[in-house]
Amino acid sequence: NAGVMQNPRHLVRRRGQEARLRCSPMKGHSHVYWYRQLPEEGLKFMVYLQKENIIDESGMPKERFSAEFPKEGPSILRIQQVVRGDSAAYFCASSRQGALYEQYFGPGTRLTVT
Amino acid sequence: ELKVEQNPLFLSMQEGKNYTIYCNYSTTSDRLYWYRQDPGKSLESLFVLLSNGAVKQEGRLMASLDTKARLSTLHITAAVHDLSATYFCAVDGRGQFYFGTGTSLTVIP
């Protein structure tokens, strides 16, 4: 049973470009969470999605960031017009049904904005 | 917003010694998780604590939860070099996890 998969593992973007990060949850999991980790810090919640629904986006910056989890395919975290401050590790986690179940983390995507 | 505080932030300990990492959180929650993260890697689940008084042990690590005090501890017994990593606690706040700042542990010979 494959774990949570994220790609790419490393992504380099110039300022002003767009970054797309993908996350495929574990088999049987229908809930996806995105977290951001700045260097030397803990993980900060960004958004919680179910298939075709955003459940909680209270941790998402109001501009440039969006997330989706379509009926088919992986969840996508999209960052438009990236800035240097967006450089971080972005982790995706999945769970079976949401709030009551343990989250399993993917390997992360390390975004570097030059 | 639920706040989670860990201490110490940095811990350097000699092999063979014992130590405890503390995790305090600000509002009621019955579920607490401990994770380990090696540099440049993802988070590895260590313990899931689901009720007041829960105690779990794996090897040289033991975790406990006191929901009334809103406190969890991660106790390290007879530390070895392989335990060097950053340890995070996380509290389940209705779907999203709130993470502590992490404790960076270095075990020295």
Task: State the pLDDT at residue B76.
Answer: 96
Which whole number is the average pLDDT over B74-91? 95
Task: State the pLDDT at residue A99.
Answer: 57
Which whole number is the average pLDDT over A21-42? 91
For residue B3, the chain A residue with the least C-alpha distance is A44
- Own/partner contacts of B6-12, CB < 8 Å, gap of 24 or more, are B6/B87, B6/B88, B6/B89, B6/B100, B6/B101, B6/B102, B6/B103, B7/B103, B8/B103, B9/B101, B9/B102, B9/B103, B9/B104, B10/B103, B10/B104, B10/B106, B11/B103, B11/B104, B11/B105, B11/B106, B12/B105, B12/B106, B12/B108
For residue B89, the chain A residue with the least C-alpha distance is A42
Quick one: tokens of A14? 């110039």
Of A50-54, A80-84, B29-33, B91-95, which one has max mean pLDDT?
A80-84
Task: State the pLDDT at residue A97.
Answer: 75
Contact yes or no for B45 and A104 at CB 8 A = yes
Does pLDDT of B96 surpass 80? no
Going by C-alpha positions, the residue among A31, A20, A27 that lies closest to residue A4 is A27
Task: State the pLDDT at residue A98.
Answer: 63
